Amino acid sequence: GAVVSQHPSRVICKSGTSVKIECRSLDFQATTMFWYRQFPKQSLMLMATSNEGSKATYEQGVEKDKFLINHASLTLSTLTVTSAHPEDSSFYICSARDVGRSYEQYFGPGTRLTVT
């Protein structure tokens, strides 16, 4: 149980285009989901916290207009990287919190974004 999926696992896009990454909790309801970004050989940096049905809370330094987060249902959150640039290339990992299991936080497998 407590599985989080991400789609796609790997995406390559051209500069200036937008790309959407989906994060789903498969067997539990997640009122809160988190988006992390990981640069090569570095730690996971929290980008934003999204709560179902409300606006996401972004960490300092994260551009909310560039990284659009939508948490429309209890099992789905999306991250859209708008007008992508090569410096947006990174590994994006989502995480979902299961209130039913003592607020455990479960992680998706990650999405490797490459902007050319």
Partner 1 sequence: AQSVAQPEDQVNVAEGNPLTVKCTYSVSGNPYLFWYVQYPNRGLQFLLKYITGDNLVKGSYGFEAEFNKSQTSFHLKKPSALVSDSALYFCAVRDGRNTPLVFGKGTRLSVIA
Interacting residues toward partner 1 by CB under 8 A: 6, 34, 36, 41-44, 46, 49, 91, 93, 95, 102-103, 105-110, 112
Half-sphere exposure of 90 toward its Cβ, with a 13 Å CA cutoff?
A: 20
Residue whose CB is less far from partner 1, 10 or 16: 10
Smallest distance from partner 1 to CB 3, Å:
11
Residue whose CB is less far from partner 1, 82 or 89: 89
What are the strands, taking DSSP E only, across the chain? Answer: 4-7, 10-13, 19-25, 32-38, 44-51, 57-58, 67-73, 76-81, 90-98, 104-107, 111-115
Smallest distance from partner 1 to CB 93, Å:
6
